[in-house]
Structure 1
Amino acid sequence: MSRADDIDVRTIAEDEIREWRRALDAGFLRPSPASDHDVADLATHLIPSRTLGAFDKGAPGGSTPVVATFRSFPQELTAVGGTPVPADAITNVTVTATHRRRGLLSRMMALDLAAAKERGDVVATLIAAEYPIYGRFGFGPATHTAQWVVDVPRSGLDRRRPVPDDGGRVDLVDGAEVRRLGPALHERVRAAQAGATNRPERWWRVTTGDLRLDAFPYAERFHAVYGGPSGQVEGLVGYVCEDRWGDDKRPGGELTVKSLIAETPAAERALWHYLCSIDWITTVRSGHRAPDDLLPHLLPDPRAARLVLHADYLWVRILDVVRALEARTYESAGTLVLEVVDPAGLAGGRYRLEAGPDGARCAPTDREPQLTLPVGELAPLWTGDESAVRLAALGRLEERQKGAASVADALLRTSRRPWCPDGF
């Protein structure tokens, strides 16, 4: 076993990308070596100065393999009310099975978060593969995701009338049209969706098959858009289908949504009704949706949509409390003094928030706190996805002034839950 001082944690050089990718694949249990094509593609979007590796200098044979991986990239995260805040998006985190429990993740995380704080990022974000890992670094589950399976014949929809009755229309389009129309639509959607992140050009290329990777074979998709009465595209869906037939010659096709975004409720309704009206399709899998998605109640029989997943999704780590709380909007007016506990020393302190529909001001203060909470518990409160009263009942925050948790809920809870449509 290598000693801790035999393992060097540092940023990688460009000529170390292949070795870093090998360790990444090992961490994600992909034993086949990455192709030259995939390594070359990684080199086009990986930022070496924000890509960390743990190099084992004590490995036998004189080699210095990478035994842990970590990288981040710039991202925008939509705060409640639509303001995008700069985020440090963390991904590709692995520790090789032979080198676990040696503090490698802690070392990499500390380096990355310190750099993010220095850059001026308001938050850090990640998608957690396992729940228990990231809370100790100040992250909290700030959005949730849900998935439904729709039993189409039971739904009660009139499948003979799939055309929207609001003057809009649904049309099939190809990948090139999605790349032309999708980015502007997504920008409008994410401006209204707390928890959403930006989609770089590469996202559109990969999800439409314009850029293909050997490690992740592309499944050809159908794409459909909803155009409102004005002709403007208000919704977009990508989906795949499995053609299945029973022994009795009855169709039993299954459709899986890969991505569905809608700017208006009319677009959302039209796209779901369209998907449930396709011939031979008896089952529709929703893919990742918001936990309060409209889908079940767009069906005459909501029980036809069976909930099969409800889980944490986007985790957020607050790096700048003042900017985070001032970036979002508030539906009611109030004042709150928070004591944020952050052992890493990145965002701790006492802060006075004075907020209302006309804006917010937040500043450090020496006043007595009304609530004391770990920085990780601030994240779901900031996105509006959690209740301070509930966290107090769970013992995850301390109410220092009676009724302060209710005051926090009146300020911070939102009418609709935050949602992050994309993984990274």
Structure 2
Amino acid sequence: MTTELRVLREAEWQTWSDRLDLAFGGLPQATEKLAVRRGLTEFDRCLGVWDGAECVGTAGALSFGLTVPGGAEVPMAGVTMVSVQPTHRRRGLLRSMMRRQLADVRERGEALAGLTASEPAIYGRFGYGVATQELQLTVDTVRLAPPELPGVDGVRLRLVDPVAALADCERVYARLVPGRPGMLARLPGWERVGVLDVPAHREGAGVLQCVVAEVDGEVRGYARFAVRPDRDAAGSCGTVQVRRIEALDPVVYTALWRFLFGIDLTSSVSVTGRPVDDPLLHLVGDIRRCRAGMREALFVRPVEVGAALAARTYRTPVEVVLEVSDAFCPWNEGRWRLSGDDRGAHCERTGDRADLALSVRELGSAYLGGCTLSALAAAGRVRELRPGALAAASLAFGSDAAPWLPHWF
């Protein structure tokens, strides 16, 4: 049986999209969600594997700018919509799509690829390493007082239509992008993803709502949320489900959380997908009343090792030779001398003796500063070849702000 791997044709999109959904369980997608998906599709970056007239594999990429330590925006291919039909497993289809895709990314001059994984165990063998974590919280708002900071009473809050407020919210988001590694500068159209409110997907919650926070007439923060009503023997005990919250300063951020804590007929606030160093952890009086969990979010893969390492800055001066293994993208194999500090860096091939040995997967995990080289070494995934090199490089690769992926793709 022969298959054909090729770039998706626009006329094939519906078939390709249907097969993707089938691979993820076959649940019907709402018309408005499909319309947004199609609008964001970059057809020249989508691949399909065809067995005759049947689509048996899918893979796509989206164009983003990724904030890296130092605040630079680096082009990144956002790998997404990857599937193989169960009838065609173990035939190398996924490997062929990943190989073709990374070659295309390199040809476009993008030094990085990133993805979010439905099955995290799959992508390490293609060189992707976990680079960010995200925090999940369920806060007991009955036992915890609302957060307070001086100046909060000067923040004006207004409930607005989520769609009507899109432009204001997107301006807030765009101002935050350079300030934290892992954030995404995105093409127009992505802002609509955050206001999709499909009734079938509400899981018992009400309509999507939006509150904006203003200071001197300027929108400086917003929160999107929905309320899931509930009752027990003691009365109402609903949950405020926070879908998105952003603010340009601590006072506005605190004002938004105080509002969310105080919504009538609720006893808890839940939020997912927040940075692991979220300020809310320090605004509440008792962290034990905030049931917390973490999970991986963004997987990063350097496609061009030299360009990727030179694109970011380093927390402390670093001079290190890395012995990089990368069987999947052999152009990255070999020794690289990285020299840099908090002002910039350069990275080039060298014949000098290596100080550290690691694979491109470990470079991806450490790239944004959220996973230390020392931790990877403790797991046997980085080898120190020159005494002292590991501690110095691990410190240099760090980031003051925890890297954070603001939304999945």
Band the TM-score falls in, shorter-chain normalisation = over 0.9
User: 1: CA distance between counterparts of 2:261 and 2:30?
Assistant: 39
Say yes or no: does 1:165 pair with 2:152: yes
Query: Which of residues 91, 110, 113 in structure 1 aligns to 2:99?
Result: 110
| TM-score, normalisation: structure 2 | 0.92
Specify the alignment match of 2:168 in structure 1: 181
Aligned: 1:191 with 2:186? no
1:89-100 matches, cutoff 5 A: 89-100=78-89
Deviation for aligned residue 1:139: 0.5
1:287-343 Cα offsets, whole Å, 9 max, x none, are: 211112122221122221111x31111001101222222222223223111111111
Unaligned runs of 5+ in 2: none
- Residue 227 of structure 1 is matched in structure 2 by 214
Tell me the alpha carbon deviations over residues 257-312 of structure 1, each in whole angstroms, 9 at most, x when there is no partner.
Answer: 111122222222222222112222211001211112122221122221111x3111
The aligned amino acid for 2:100 is: L
Q: Decide which of 24, 27, 51 is 1:28's aligned counterpart.
A: 24
User: Hey, what's the Cα distance between the residues in 1 that align with 2:126 and 2:367?
Assistant: 17
Q: How far off is 1:412 after superposition?
A: 0.8
Q: 8 Å contact 1:155–1:302 — kept in the other structure? A: no
Of the structure 1 ranges 165-174 and 131-140, higher mean CA displacement relative to structure 2 is found in: 165-174
Q: Quick one: distance in 1 between partners of 2:96 and 2:45?
A: 14
Confirm whether residue 311 of structure 1 aligns to residue 300 of structure 2: no
Sequence identity (%):
33
Rounded to whole Å, the distance in 2 between the matches of 1:18 and 1:99 is: 20
Match of 1:247 among 233, 236, 240: 233
Amino acid at match of 1:376: R
CA distance in 1, matches of 2:195, 2:117: 25
The separation in 1 between residues aligned to 2:345 and 2:34, in whole angstroms, is 46
- Partner of 2:386, secondary structure, is coil
Once the two structures are overlaid, the 10-residue window that deviates more, 199-208 or 401-410, is 199-208
Letter matched to residue 337 of structure 1: V
CA offset digits 1:34-89 (Å, max 9, x no partner): 677766654433222211111113xxxxxx21111111121111111211100111
Alignment of 1:336 with 2:336, yes or no, is no
Contact 2:59 2:82 in 1 (8 A): yes
- Cα RMSD, aligned residues only: 2.3
Change (3 A) 1:128 1:86: same
SS at match of 1:350: strand
Contact 2:356–2:384 (Cα < 8 Å) also in 1: yes
Deviation at 1:399, TM superposition (A): 0.6
After superposition, the Cα gap between the structure-2 partners of 1:374 and 1:251, relative to the gap in structure 1 and judged at 3 Å, is: same
Q: Distance in 2 between matches of 1:115 and 1:314?
A: 20
Deviant stretches of 4+, over 4 Å: 34-43, 161-164, 212-219
Is 1:237 the counterpart of 2:191 in the alignment? no
Q: 1:224 touches 1:238 (CA, 8 Å); kept in 2?
A: yes
- On the 8 A contact 2:39/2:189 being kept in 1, the answer is no
Structure 1 residue 327 corresponds to structure 2 residue 311: yes
Closer, same or farther: CA 296–402 of 1 in aligned 2, 3 Å: same
